[in-house]
Structure 1
Amino acid sequence: MSKETEPVIRPFADWLREQSTGSTHEELGEALHDLIAKVQDTGKKGSLTLTITVGTLKNDAAVLVVEDRIKLKLPEHDRKASLFYPDKHGNLTRRDPRQLEFESLREVPAPEGVDLETGEIREVAE
């Protein structure tokens, strides 16, 4: 193919700056910035996707309609799970309904000379 017959392809970035009067280009820049910050915050992967749809105008095939869609998938922090037990009515409870309860148990006070914060035994005067 000679140089005269080779098509001149416009750089993609030039078109992107014009799409939706520049708002697509601006939105992509902001979305990428948000994505980078969230990836650094969570240590997880995320993604930014630009979808371009090209069609013709209904009555004029020489006119192209170009639409874009930006999809941002930000990573999230892991959420902690909690353990519950179902009771006989199907409600969630923290107490295992199968566990026996000891109603006669009581807290025993620390003996004299024990530091309550550290558990350390100090000398006791006799």
Structure 2
Amino acid sequence: MTDRRRTDPLTGEVIEDPPIRPFADWLREQANGKTHNELGEALWDLIARVEETRKKGTLALTITVEPMPKSDGNVLVISDNIQLKLPEFKRDASVAYVDRNGNLSRNNPRQPTLTGLRDASAPESTTIREAQ
């Protein structure tokens, strides 16, 4: 990593390579732990959906840091945004025709409708006699 230097705002002391707090420690405290919990749930949901669909998905955390308005500079507002993009299941397509009114129809409006048709299948109560 790079060399880091910080000047203590109270004493003016220059601190070379100050110890850096682990990110996970901060994350557990962000929004009273809500961000940490939501990320855990989102990751679980993402893993489950990837296993089901065999497609990739993404989970992104965006952290915004800005100075607190009307503060002396050492008060910061930290906000976060979690974006979860689950892979989609394959959806079946269907075929439809456009009728003369511009509506979708399952029937082809250019094909004539046959009338007078009846079901010629044998009734269920009919039995076949065995040859004697």
**TM-score, length-scaled by structure 2:** 0.72
2:119 and 2:41 mapped to 1: Cα distance?
A: 59
1:78 and 1:69 mapped to 2: Cα distance?
A: 28
Runs of 5+ in structure 2 lacking a partner?
4-14, 123-129
Q: CA RMSD in A?
A: 2.5
- Which range moved further: 92-101 or 40-49? 92-101
Q: Find the counterpart in structure 1 of residue 81 from structure 2.
A: 69
**TM-score, length-scaled by structure 1:** 0.75
SS at match of 1:50: strand
The share of aligned pairs that are identical, in percent, is 56
1:23 matched to 2:34? The reply is yes
1:41 and 1:63 mapped to 2: Cα distance?
A: 45
Q: What is the aligned residue count?
A: 113
SS at match of 1:10: coil
Runs of 5+ in structure 1 lacking a partner?
111-123
Q: Find the counterpart in structure 1 of residue 104 from structure 2.
A: 92
Q: Find the counterpart in structure 2 of residue 121 from structure 1.
A: none
1:42 corresponds, among 53, 70, 86, to 53
Q: CA deviation at 1:108?
A: 5.6
